[in-house]
Structure 1
């Protein structure tokens, strides 16, 4: 009974080992060909586990009895291959290469490319040496772990600069299109494949992400149309399962978000590589639209909605997208400019639900007023770190919590009511912009909520240049105020208030002054016309036919000229004394009332009537 149990356990261990080996197989070319006296390079791909990265790599030649080692990573080189064979390991990429130079006819044969000792992990390669001048092109090998990515470069020359470019997958009878430059994308590769042109005409790149075991196979990249015109290049893609993750980074093939909520996408790169550009783009059938990059460039329609946090210590950057809309659903790609860097894609789905962070999303505040913005969070975020930050195109750095910082803002958290507050003692025009409330857990950015703060009554600079002669003082005072504002001596609110008061005062005084001048001019004109008309009153205005001869006749008949009469003294009103005329020497000229021309004309007319009546009585 014990013996049977032992046999069963042994068989189980062997089966388990076989499964591990099957899932951790190596891959390389089945056959390579080199020119006589030339050289050949063989790429050997292996699972980049911790054990495999540090284990022995070797290249050996098979015979009927054994496989004799030619070169190994331990420094061994066979005597017949000294100076002709080299082996180079790239453990970070799960790859080592073997190069054989000075090829001879006796180099033809079967070889093994392997890891460890006793043929633990290997694959077989047949080497051929040709005397022809041209070596046939072999299929390019790509050894990719599951959920990984691959970059393929195809170059067919400038003669195919305007021709259709494509990638297709070989079957027994045809080559099924995966993607082409006409916008066709196979449904099983939607969001996982991308075709981009290179600078050189006829050259292009193909990126594939989220590779699965079923994606392994033979592919063709080409220019023109398969089977009828153009050229093709053969590609052999092998996708393997990796038992252990080498860096602990977990890809995100799918993220979910709710309307008005947020999502975060983590992207990984080699921190030791020469990476200068990192960006996130949204996939479309004929390209990928860049949304944000590490230089601070942000697509206009995503301003205030997207931010990138770079963490070069662990070779990752996180992109947060909030204020989610229905049209944000789709595929997003993490990209870098490194040639060996993997490209990863993530699908975003919009689902039903409500954001966990809630608050007012927009504030309109008068400059100089206090303000408190609040953000409520659920119980599940109780142990998370929370923050407020002011959005910029380059980052959203958290503001200092529980204490006054340089911007005059205070962040407080009431854990009992689960409210995170951002307090302004006095808002200024420079405070206008986007603010984010967010949570963070174990170094990973979580959900965020965006709030827009709009400041009313902000100081506006005049677009028109001031008059150099009349507005020198005004311009100087504005310059002084701007200098004070920059130095922190005077606040923009006070400066703006003074300018507004001055504008209001001028708008009132100027119309009053114009009205006063207009009334004065009218008054002067009327006054002038009145005196002028009073001096020009004539006897004819009384509609008589009086002539100067009539006045002479009246003088002859004894009519007295009042103008020449001595002025009489008039008694006070109410006394019965008659007018008394006195003459004496020295003559005293009492004060008289000055008559106007009109009054004199009336008196002359009255005298004329009296004289006429007297003449008529005498004649009768």
Structure 2
């Protein structure tokens, strides 16, 4: 069919056709990445041609249409899935100028078309999230912030941008962080960090930022709207096995409004044909035979907040009493209403991972959660929680009772994973929620570049590594690095890392780029510019990644290095000087102490007996091999060779006040271990031992 014939048809109706065709009215994309739009249609349109058109100008212009089940035109592709009643439009390598109105269309008699507004934002491919999120007063909210692989090891943070600059609220310390009501958890394997805000307040409304501490200060703005909401219709759940009532046991039933602003107040009522009375204040009703009379009872629950009150369905109780026996049967008309919910349609990409969040009512916090694959006859369990976690092959499950969410993660998606699944809870009534997973092939996105090592080491001749990653597209993805030259571009490696060092440069200027390829095509990155300064040894080469702000100056780096070197020399010199002063001080103290231990004074004559003075109470022991030329030596000449050992005890007596002009008196006892020589006077003093083998001398100066 001639494409030009479709344009007049599109002009006939550019408004949604009730029940014929529908999609999300507003979708958001990111510059350089891909976006997928699902267009749903009624079964009667299965054999018809599906199309995607540009309605930013009048008339709408055809962009791509199905030829059979597939179609492609430049950056756009379209795939029809008649079995599901969905055709999917994929736009690759988004540009800012792609923002505007588009249309999902069907070539049919009623000219079915549905308008979609596409908003493309520029975040340089570093970090992205939902632009607008909504929360409810008193409840919790989770915001997932996605980031490129080169930021896996960087610190992630959440900041308040209601005022400028953005005020830090919480940051990862390792992979987790907590500050008051706000927490943050990083999952490097998935390239996502999750921010959780609990107990939301109306004042929390405003602009925030998902941020990464990096050279390019990567950040993405998110608008959080917190609103007051009325309660939802409360749902009733069994807290204990319902069948115990048949044996006369107790049964507990809970009441919970799963939506609406906190605080929520609950009241149980009993109803009969004539009146209604409140019987319990709280969200739990306990039933037992001893309190049940008659044959029939009816109960219901009310939930209220500052926006109003909603009432639950009726709980019917039928009582059977006999001689000494009692049993009863309880019945809730809608056993699983509102117990469990999730997104009914999710999309994944071959080779990558997907996460499905299943929300549940608080009453199921302690129950086992599971994920099952639905076939024509049954839902086969794939994985279930064992405690809070579970793993089976490529599928894992994690329960978060505090948040009322269990998360199913499927890694390394295959095309065959497409199909129907269910979030489930093992409890009476077996509440489940149906989810359709669509896994499709996707071309690579424009690869993003980032520094893997400290950049300014290149200013001193060090190596710098640059990473290349396509964050979207079917895996596996192959990467190659090329050097751009005036003649022909030459391949230099077949991996996603470029290592730059002095030995690899032959010219003053070099340019490099990376390519990412899968089976659906190839995309090229921005240019990496390297400038080499030949005056430096070994070399200096600042690196710049075009269009990303990832660059630096070697002038600053060198000055900083020079300043650091001067500081190092100064601190080292001061430290050495202090050590020298400390050693000199202790050496001086030691010399001074040694010199004061024993002071000697001499008389006027050379043969005067030497006086030894020490501090009062101190003693000196000495081995004397030979005496000098004095009187004692003369007397000892006849004493078999003289003195072989002597003990000299010196004591100094303080001067009296009237003897200040006289020399200090020193008393000394000299003990010679030989026979007493003739001519030596032996003093007799109290306490002196009478030993014929010793000589005692008193020396007075």
TM-score where L is the length of structure 1? 0.28
TM-score where L is the length of structure 2? 0.26
Structure number with higher helix proportion: 1
Q: Which has the higher contact order (CA 8 A, sep 6+)?
A: 1
Structure number with higher strand proportion: 2
> Which protein is bigger by CA-based radius of gyration?
1
